[in-house]
Amino acid sequence: MAWHEFDSKSGFYRIRFRFAGTKFNLSKTLKITDVDRAHACCETVEETIRLLKRGVLRIPDGVDPGEFIVSGGRLTEPLKPNKPVTKPKTLTDLFNAYVEEMGAIEGREGTSETEGYHIAHLSTPDLLGGDRIIDEVTADDIQRYVNARSKQWWRGRLISRDTIEKELATLGTIWRWGGRRGLVAVPPPWRLRDLTLPFAKVKPQFRTSEQIERKLKRGGLTEQERREQWDCLYLTGEEIEEVLDLVQANATAPFIYPMFAFVALTGARRGELLRSQIDDFDFEAGSVTIQGTKGRQRTQIVAREVDIHPRLRDVMTGWFAHHPGGQHTLCKADGSPLTVHEANHHFDQPLKGSKWQVIKGFHVFRHSFASILASRGVDQRYIDKYLGHQTEEMKKRYQHLHPGKGGKPIDALLAG
């Protein structure tokens, strides 16, 4: 009997079977990422074993039995030996090995992009440096990285503690990944709690555009501080309707309006939006499945269901009626799915030149989704169900809006 198991760490399916008293476990050599292929490979293995037992097939001399069996009996001579694994010596070597493996996993595009930014900073010679020998990196080196990074500026503000912690989290994730692969011999030489980090700036509670405008009119803020006020924007239900109407009128591509409606009326993240497929929508049941991710390396898919808002139903049924083809919910005219960069570009297009160009990204709608439901008395359990994982820090930014009364769930989103 043969069976398959998904290895979340490598992103490949393991093909496991027994033959002649020996257990076989093949994963990386096959590099199977699709469950249907894994199932077909198991069927091939079982049929080959049956033919071997009947004497129809014979394993050639010098050929590995496992490789012969998974080949379906077609392998006639030993495979060329794999090149010996060369352990990375520098951080750059380790980063490259990690990116090569993780880049092959579908659905990690957004995570890989963020990790790429972090790796670029970690590799900068004036900070940590990619040419550092891995075994020689010390806690003092990491502390110097923190000190140097906290003195740098980005868009008129100092790099925050939150950003530095995320960069070190990425370094730790890659380091431990290397340890599990036998590429790194020593554990990470630092612990976050032992480092001296800049003071954390408490993020402000979410405010409506009207509240932000009142604060700006009082004056006394620098230009940078004025821009920062919009970081805590949340849209009211009426404002979301206004934005959706604006997008519907201004969108230059047919998928843009459904893209905005999807995130605004489900609270989905950008990655979940791009991962969505048509079959995730069940209009009869009145729900849509959101394909989220979990795990430090974002290689595990976890699904949650969100009730379909009436306006979202109208938007998506209209879009699907003229869908270009393919499996993805949102796609271009040729049926190919949107990339992260394309989604960001088309997000800005219909808002440019309007008062809503202050909306800084898809996450504003996610925050607004939670804030509106909280302000209208929807039970926190419904909000958690719709949004999936939320940090306690994020909940605190909108829970001041909660009146403490019971209420309807999704229909309250755009209620008057």
Same domain? For 296 and 341 the reply is yes
CATH of the domain at 137: 1.10.150
Q: What confidence category does residue 202 fall into, taking pLDDT thresholds of 50, 70 and 90?
A: confident
Query: Which of 170, 194, 218 is where one domain is finished?
Result: 194
* In the predicted structure, residue 29 carries a pLDDT above the cut 70: no
Same domain? For 262 and 392 the reply is yes
Query: Which of 147, 165, 194 is where one domain is finished?
Result: 194
Q: Is residue 203 part of a domain?
A: no
Q: What is the pTM of this model?
A: 0.65
Same domain? For 217 and 171 the reply is no
Please, which contacts does 269-272 make with residues 24 or more away whose CB atoms are closer than 8 Å? 269/362, 269/363, 269/366, 270/110, 270/340, 270/343, 270/361, 270/362, 270/363, 271/107, 271/109, 271/110, 271/111, 271/340
Query: Tokens 């047919």 map to which residue?
Result: 254
Task: Determine the structural domain holding residue 110 and report its residue range.
Answer: 91-194
Q: Tell me the per-residue pLDDT of 117-159, one tens digit each, with 9 for 90 and over.
A: 999 999 999 999 999 999 999 999 999 999 999 999 987 788 9
Same domain? For 280 and 185 the reply is no
Same domain? For 277 and 336 the reply is yes
Same domain? For 243 and 269 the reply is yes
Same domain? For 185 and 215 the reply is no
Same domain? For 309 and 396 the reply is yes
CATH of the domain at 408: 1.10.443.10
Q: Is residue 256 part of a domain?
A: yes
Same domain? For 256 and 336 the reply is yes
Q: How many domains would you assign to the chain?
A: 3
* In the predicted structure, residue 231 carries a pLDDT above the cut 90: no
Same domain? For 184 and 282 the reply is no
Q: Tell me the per-residue pLDDT of 347-375, one tens digit each, with 9 for 90 and over.
A: 999 999 999 999 989 999 998 998 888 88
Q: Tell me the per-residue pLDDT of 372-411, one tens digit each, with 9 for 90 and over.
A: 888 888 888 888 888 886 566 666 666 655 454 444 466 6
Per-residue DSSP letter, 407: -
What average pLDDT does the chain have? 86
Q: Is residue 111 part of a domain?
A: yes
Q: Are 410 and 306 in contact (CB under 8 A)?
A: yes
